[in-house]
Amino acid sequence: MQTTHDVPHQHDPHPEDEQYESFRKSVTARFNEAAKNPLFLTSVSWYSSSSPELFTLFLDNIPGQRRQHYNCRACQHFINRFGGLVTIDENGNATSAVWDLQDTPLFFHESVGEMLRVINRSKVTGVFISGEATLGHPHTPSPKGDWFHFNGAIPTERLHRSKVLTPFQAMAEKVQDHHNVARALSEYSLATVDQALKLLRSEQLYRAEKVIGPAEWLAKLHEARANVVMRRGNDAQDNLIWRAVADAPAGFCHPRSSMIGTLLDDIAAGLPFADVSRKFAEKMHPLQYQRPQAAPAAGNIKQAEELFEKLGLARALPRRFARLEEIETIWKPQPPRMVPRRAGVFGNVKAKGEVEKKSSSMATPRITMTWEKFQRTVLPTAETIEFYTDPRVGNFSAFLTAVNPDAPPILQWDREEKRNPFSWYFWHGGSSPRTWGLYESSWVNVTGVALKPNMWGDQPLVHQGEGVLFVLAGAVDQRSPSLCLFPEILRSELHGVRAVIEAYSKDKRAEERMTATVCGVMLKKGRPSPGDRWHFVFRVNGEQEYLLDRWD
């Protein structure tokens, strides 16, 4: 199919009334706009002997005398492979990602109409995933002028970048995800999911933040399907599942085999709250949740070796203690105010009226408030902050980072386009000020305040929990922790070899411990564990004391 401006009019294969160029451009523009959102395969996508060939429908409905001219292999490839792709809206409606009669010249109306008739009757069968930015063959060079064909483009942010799975394997996983979610929706009623969500939001379940994201996702999908069932039927309900799994976060599409499934099972079984809470806490124990309980098998070690070789992740394993100048902080102490000194021998002598008066304000009682109020009302004007090292407080923590900053991301919140290789750790059962080199029952300067690394940037991972670290001057862990590469913080591609990584992490030690400058006390949102205690006392600007007794 050739342009009209590169060759003389007598060789022009596209009469103006056919308007092929405007048609081709509108198809490309429509596809490129649709591709900003998830695209879906249908039963007429990627032609097979069991479905009608879209290109045949396109060609058969071109006027006979012009049919041969449009019999183009490049266009046939695009139409048969991508012409059946659709988008799905929030109501479960599937719409062609390529064709629209309103933008179609009259000459191609019957062709597009026939293709749309078949596409609109087809069933969504999968999520379309591509590792190629350009779909189709845009043009073919020719001495008489380039031949331009139907084509489309996938935005960079939607390209498949995994080195573990091919696009075809990723699409196969989405089919399995759809099956898993559909089964969970049929087994767990909306009332059961809502009850689970109510418990999780009440913060009465230990480490609920790990599960609340999948629970909210499942409840939202349940509600969306319930809203369309009376109006549009099963296709719309099924389409909403495809729409949800297309962009679902890692782990959300396995409700029955995850912690949300065990919680839903207990609720559906009618267990009392005390039993539900106890069983949930046992399974969410930091030494149990996603932690392998046995040494890895030889085959699993071999699998890990191959995976790390493929991903180039070996350099991402060494970890070291972080330094304050490297991290993202929300507060740092203000430098002391310098009073200019007069010149001369007696420049240090204060004149009448310059003598500092002692503050006549009486001492005010300690103020109890939440962390959120403290952050909002106190932190912006705080010049200095001190922390009281109550020996009963055991929430001490430290930030670690990669020894090799150019190593590929290994953590869930670390991305190639915005690096964030920082993580944190606690000692099971808590730790005392003395184990961090601090005197007990004394005041220590806060040198910085930082949110947990998973909360940095514009894409916070809330399911990893919310928390804030008050960095303490002179705090250094007196014990030597492991690499602290816990399964629950690693990239989803590494789930299958988590036992190997766990064993490796335990056997190694984080480097540069004695020069660490990001150690301190961490305040965490949610129900505290046995080693935690919400009783944090701070002194601001050397005067007012604050007791922080809860997150919000």
Q: Kindly list the averaged pLDDT for each block of 10 residues, start to end, along the chain of length 552.
A: 35 64 95 97 72 86 90 92 96 96 94 95 96 92 80 94 91 97 96 95 86 94 87 82 94 91 95 94 79 82 94 96 97 79 67 53 83 97 97 93 96 94 93 96 98 94 91 97 94 91 95 97 80 84 95 91
pLDDT digits (tens, 9 = 90+) for 361-393: 556 899 999 999 999 999 999 999 999 999 988
Angle at alpha carbon of residue 533, lines to 528 and 534, rounded to 5°: 90
Q: Is the dihedral of CA 132, 133, 138, 139 positive or negative?
A: negative
**Cα separation of 95 and 98, whole Å?**
9
Which H or E run includes 126?
strand 124-128
Tell me, yes or no, whether 391 and 513 share the same domain: yes
Nearest in space to 441 (alpha carbons), one of 371, 368, 392, 384:
392
Q: What is the pLDDT of residue 361?
A: 53
Indicate if 134 and 269 belong to the same structural domain.
no
Instruction: Pick the last residue of a domain from 284, 303, 328.
Output: 284
- Tell me: do 145 and 173 sit in the same domain: no
Q: 320 with 443, same domain?
A: yes
Count CA atoms within 13 Å of residue 480 on its CB side.
Answer: 8
Same domain, 537 and 395: yes
Backbone angles phi, psi at 272, to 5 degrees: -70, 160
Domain assignment of residue 454, yes or no: yes
**29 and 171 part of one domain:** no
Query: b vs e for 461-481, b when ≥16 Cβ sit within 10 Å of the residue's Cβ?
Result: bebbbbbbbbbbbebbbeeeb
Judge if 330 and 473 occupy the same domain: yes
Tell whether 86 is covered by a domain: yes
Would 24 be classed as within a structural domain?
yes
Cα dihedral 9, 15, 17, 19 sign: negative
pLDDT reported for residue 11: 35
Of 544, 485, 538, nearest to 308 by C-alpha is 485
Boundary-marking domain end, from 245, 264, 284: 284
Q: Where are the beta strands (DSSP E) in 219-373?
A: 319-321, 367-369
The Cα-based distances of 77 to 135, 148, 149, 181, 243 in angstroms read 10, 14, 10, 33, 26
Q: Is residue 92 part of a domain?
A: yes
For residues 117 and 212, state if they share a domain.
Answer: no
Whether 348 is covered by a domain: the verdict is no
Residue 2 located in a structural domain: no
DSSP letter, residue 203: T
Tokens of 332: 């740092």
Whether residues 184 and 66 fall in one domain: no
Domain edge (last residue) among 133, 158, 183:
158
At 432-472, the pLDDT tens digits run 999 999 999 999 999 999 999 999 998 898 888 899 999 99
Contact present, 149 and 72 (Cβ < 8 Å): yes
Q: Identify whether residues 395 and 540 lie together within a single domain.
A: yes
What are the b/e assignments for 260-283, b being 16+ CB within 10 Å?
bbbbbbbbbeeeeeeebbeebbee
Say yes or no: 179 and 47 in one domain.
no
If one counts the domains in the chain, the total is 3
Residue 294, domain member (yes or no) = no
Specify whether 124 is located in the same domain as 190: no
Distance (Å, rounded) from C-alpha 435 to C-alpha 531? 15
Contact 546, 540 (CB under 8 A): yes
Residue range(s) defining the domain that contains residue 226: 167-284
Answer yes or no: are the C-beta atoms of 192 and 267 closer than 8 Å: yes
> Is 274 inside a domain boundary?
yes
